[in-house]
Amino acid sequence: MALKATIYKADLSIADMDRNYYADHSLTLARHPSETDERMMVRLLAFVLYAREGLGFGKGLCVDDEPDLWRKDLTGAIQLWIDVGHPDEKWLRKACNRSEQVVLVNYGGRSSEIWWDQNKNALTRLDKLSIINLPTEAVDELRALANRTMRLQCTVQDGQVMITDGERTAHIEPARR
């Protein structure tokens, strides 16, 4: 019997002072059975960092040729392609050929550093690609916020992100590679 995705609801109130973006979003996240809370919350953080009209979740782990998040224009052309984790360099090259901009949100501590060391020569040649690395402690704080129903206040200022549920707070300082 196939396992089904677990559904999470997130009400986000985003105040992004770096981009002058202020909005509320009600999101439904489907967490694939093989996905961890950590990865799901990194996807949610990626949404916060790039939130704007038209940004939505792709099928991610369920479909090979879709990103974790993307934004398309009215013609269906992909404007922004966002993936999380440690994808194959060929996958990122393909994404750069299909989209105007590609963002990879890297996390995982030591495994992230090993992945970067193995792929940096090929990836630095991809002009459309931006890579953000998240500190392990920040991802742990994010994971602690994971609940089936979430109400989160998200503040972005000076490149730093603060996400709180009123009881716990995650402080994230993404680093660009």
Q: Which CATH superfamily is domain 6-176 in?
A: Restriction endonuclease-like alpha-beta roll domain (3.10.640.10)
The CA distance from 22 to 155, in Å, is: 9
What pLDDT does residue 65 have?
A: 74
Write down the pLDDT at residue 66: 87
The structural domains of the chain, with segments of one domain joined by +, span 6-176
Cα separations in angstroms, 99 against 144, 145, 172:
33, 31, 27
| 157 contacts 17 by C-beta, under 8 angstroms | yes
User: Full-prediction pTM beyond 0.85?
Assistant: yes
- Provide the residue-wise pLDDT of the chain in tens; the chain has 177 residues: 457 889 999 999 999 999 999 999 999 999 988 899 999 999 999 999 999 999 999 876 555 678 999 999 999 999 999 999 999 999 999 999 999 999 999 999 999 999 999 999 999 999 999 999 999 999 999 999 999 999 999 999 999 999 999 999 999 999 998
Structural contact between residues 44 and 10, judged by C-beta atoms closer than 8 angstroms? yes
Distance CA 9, CA 28 (A): 5
